[in-house]
Structure 1
């Protein structure tokens, strides 16, 4: 079997997750050294280990060295099998990142699959379940991928306890898409998610967003999580253009005021609205892999992140594609082609 050697110092957990996805989709194994070596806590954490073990199970593969804290992994995939799967992270680690690791393999399977994941659904350093539903899955749908995602229980750091279920239909071949133009602005809407905290905090966040962005600040835009498994707060703004949707969010944290949480969210939204690039920073990174599997595609984005660069170079190791990015009006156009 072909094996690819990967230097884990070139990226964090995302490099590992992308390698797992690509290995499942191509049948090419890999060895990764120095996993997350530059992080404060190097090696595999619970969410990474869950992704590794889940990939091995879905793909009938082997994962030598898969253990908490491990910095070296040898992954050998087998044949991906459709089915009903249930994986629990056992912490507030991101369930959505595990979901993104497995989805491409499952939509390439010959039959429908159902995936139940337990862990964090709204984490500061991962796409939220709301982002997945509003941005990521609609982008995949344009390529022909059909996924129905249900959020059964919210999970915040550090309590966890979130539950997601995804039904994935087979997709024999992805259709190449371009995400270059947003289309006309249709709406800007704010909402606040509160768990185990006073609604007044959420109202203060809405008041700031109303002042900065001109959006309504009605109490009905505050979603209260009941029962609350632990404290949590996420302020979000959804920007709807004719041809694209972006969701921006900001997470409450101890010692940070509601006004600061909403203020940094408003900054991000205003920066996006001032520009013309279609895809936000986080979605731009996540589009690379499905675009590569489609064999072609493009998008415009404001900046080229290190995450995007390292992810593109990794994808090129597994698939016969090449990425390039060129400066355009007020950002960059990223293209992939055979």
Structure 2
């Protein structure tokens, strides 16, 4: 495994040749205005070879600039793409990135090493930054990731393993995730291994409109340093709810070591045309029965729309779709701020046609045409009875 140390790169300045290249200039405060702009820009730069400069990074956030989890994503992308980088330090509001050739292998990326202290910064967001570029560049890689695995405001490890990766598999991108230690907020300390296989062809387009029949529901519980009866009670509650659909759930339990304690529950749904996941984290003083019910209510709200994917997966499909062999389309309950932000960002790096239009009574439809032109509906479609987040 390659030791990845900050000293490998000259983070303070770039050579003269770097300054002569045309940069894609991005306003980091646009739309969602968070770390997503940084992560997607890194992935697009790795895949297109186009350098970029982001200004005003997370400018409207209480802790503006690059934080440990964002900086770890920069570090991972720079390591894998042999990139030259400027502005990669904690709190930085401007970042320049010039990619080189993507290189596979074995790597270790540690959010805590970047922060200099314990951190529950999400390692799954780091994984999602580099997974598609690695696969589409024909590189195999094994990434050991240390930090937060089940934390708020990010896809948990179980969502990535049982929702995101199966959806990518439908498009021809293969990867697997093994979770060894759970990293709950605030102590972190989680560890997982992502193995990415080289794609032997461009991604296949998808056409997921009406979800069709629901084929399976997995109930995934990850728990650390809490009584086992919590899992049993959660399963009993989930079985009661899911029984209303006529389906028998599949129960998956991860009893993992951890620095702290916590429980995460994920409902992973496979439909005839699409995937969805609903995550709830346990909280002090909240019974597991309520945690399950909260996830169930989110599932019911999605299922009523008959859309193909949840609103988190909706924006995560955009990156592989722009490199697919033909147009892709899918539906989701609402046009989130994350979705709109990525739609705004994509044409800055490449030629692509994009459409965001109402679908049915309670949803929106996303259409991606690689090599196409124009953006339709970015400032219009919302999805009935839903607002952007």
TM-score by length of 2: 0.80
Given the superposition, is the C-alpha separation of residues 13 and 153 from structure 1 closer, same or farther in structure 2, using an over 3 Å criterion? same
The equivalent residue for 2:27 is 7
Greater mean deviation of Cα atoms: 142-151 or 257-266 = 257-266
Deviation at 1:89, TM superposition (A): 1.0
Secondary structure at 1:139 match in 2 = helix
Q: How many equivalent residue pairs?
A: 336
Q: Which residue of 2 aligns with 1:333?
A: 365
Kept after mapping to 1: 8 A contact 2:163/2:269: no
Q: Deviations over 1:188-229 (max 9, x none)?
A: 34343221122344445445444544379x9x9573624332
- 3-state SS in 2 of match to 1:246: strand
State the match for 2:193 in structure 1: 165
RMSD (Å), alpha carbons: 2.2
Which residue of structure 2 lines up, in the alignment, with residue 33 of structure 1? 55
Q: Indicate which of 249, 266, 287 corresponds to 2:296.
A: 266
For 1:316-338, what per-residue CA distance to the aligned partner results, in whole angstroms no more than 9, with x for missing partners?
Answer: 11121021111121311110112
Other structure's SS at 1:176 match? coil
Q: Contact 2:212–2:306 at 8 Å: present in 1 too?
A: no
Partner of residue 299, structure 1: 330
Q: Which segment is superposed worse, 237-246 or 273-282?
A: 237-246
Closer, same or farther in 2 for the Cα pair 1:15/1:111, shift >3 Å? Answer: closer
Is the 1:60–1:78 contact (alpha carbons within 8 Å) kept by the matching residues of 2?
Answer: yes
Q: Distance in 2 between matches of 1:115 and 1:189?
A: 26
Q: Distance in 2 between matches of 1:318 and 1:192?
A: 39
Deviation at 1:177, TM superposition (A): 1.6
Q: Aligned pair in 2 of structure 1 residues 268, 114: CA closer, same or farther (>3 Å)? A: same
Q: Per-residue CA shift, 1:72-115, capped at 9, x if unaligned?
A: 11111112112222111112111111011011221133442222
Q: Which runs of 5+ in 1 are unaligned?
A: none
Q: What displacement does 1:53 show?
A: 1.1
Cα distance between partner residues in 2 of 1:302 and 1:138? 20
Alignment of 1:16-165 (within 5 A): 16-90=38-112, 91-165=119-193
* Structure 2 residue corresponding to 1:174, chosen from 190, 199, 203: 203
Aligned to 1:214, the other structure's residue is in SS state helix
Retained in 1: the 8 A contact 2:157–2:179? yes
Q: Counterparts in 2 of 1:227-306, with a 5 A limit?
A: 227-294=257-324, 296-306=327-337
Cα drift, residue 182 of structure 1:
2.2
- CA shift, 1:291, in A, is 0.6
User: 2:189·2:258 contact (CA, 8 Å) conserved in 1?
Assistant: no
**8 Å contact kept, 1:199–1:222:** no
| Of 322-331 and 25-34, the range deviating more from structure 2 | 322-331
Q: CA–CA distance in 2 between the matches of 1:184 and 1:139?
A: 16
Contact 2:163 2:268 in 1 (8 A): no
Query: Are the structure 2 counterparts of residues 205 and 150 from structure 1 closer, same or farther at C-alpha, using a change threshold of 3 Å?
Result: closer
Tell me if structure 2 keeps the 8 A contact 1:63–1:76: yes
Change in Cα spacing, 1:9 to 1:278, as seen in structure 2 (3 Å) is same
Q: Distance in 1 between matches of 2:214 and 2:48?
A: 39
* TM-score (normalised: structure 1): 0.92
Match of 1:309 among 340, 343, 352: 340
Question: Where in structure 2 are there 5+ consecutive unaligned residues?
Answer: 1-20, 113-118, 373-389
- Give per-residue Cα distances to partners, 1:228-272, cap 9 Å, x unaligned: 321111122232323433221101123544344233212201101
Per-residue CA deviations over 1:11-65 (Å, capped at 9, x if unaligned) read 2011110001001111111111111112121111111010011111111112211
Structure 1 residues 197 and 270: alpha-carbon distance in aligned structure 2, compared to 1, 3 A threshold = same
Does the 8 A contact of 1:22 with 1:318 survive in 2? yes
